[in-house]
Structure 1
Amino acid sequence: MTLLPTHRIKTLVALSECPVCKRPIVCGGGGIAFASATFACGAEFVTANEEITVSSPCPSGSKFVVGYLNDLAAAAATAAAAAEAGVP
């Protein structure tokens, strides 16, 4: 598995509240190749095809936030790859 999907899973698993409306998580978890998070607002985010995606949208604009979460994961993966390569 490449670094980017791994960091996307870690990003999703780390959520404790809906990134859109801040309602608390009610169910979630992840493993080596998959993660999901369901929130009190009804939003559900999952990893699919190596990206974070919206399974059930928050009433407050989930698709915008998914792009942001994927950008965060990409930045973390880039930093991790640079660290592994010994690039400061």
Structure 2
Amino acid sequence: MRATDIAAKAADLVGGDREQQHGKKSDNFGRIATVWNAWLAVRRDPSAPLDAHDVGILMVLMKVARTQSGTFNLDDYVDMAGYAACSGEVAQESA
């Protein structure tokens, strides 16, 4: 697949089904920013660089935020569980 084909497919997704699933982009991204900022403020060392565990938690929170806009999408809940499980594994490795 060529770069132009990939870009065209992305354009179809962000203007079609994904917009209906996740709601208005600015609302969705705003909700994600709100929960990410909360995590960054309450984590054990807010001044530390992000690590692999933080990324896993942030991905869970992205999915949590997505449940509050657009239409119901079961994949959000499946993805939350998957990211939470991966985050637990990463946390356990570094403990």
**TM-score normalised by L of structure 2:** 0.33
> Which structure's residues are more often helix, by fraction?
2
The structure in which a higher percent of residues are strand is 1
Max Rg structure: 2
TM-score (norm 1): 0.35
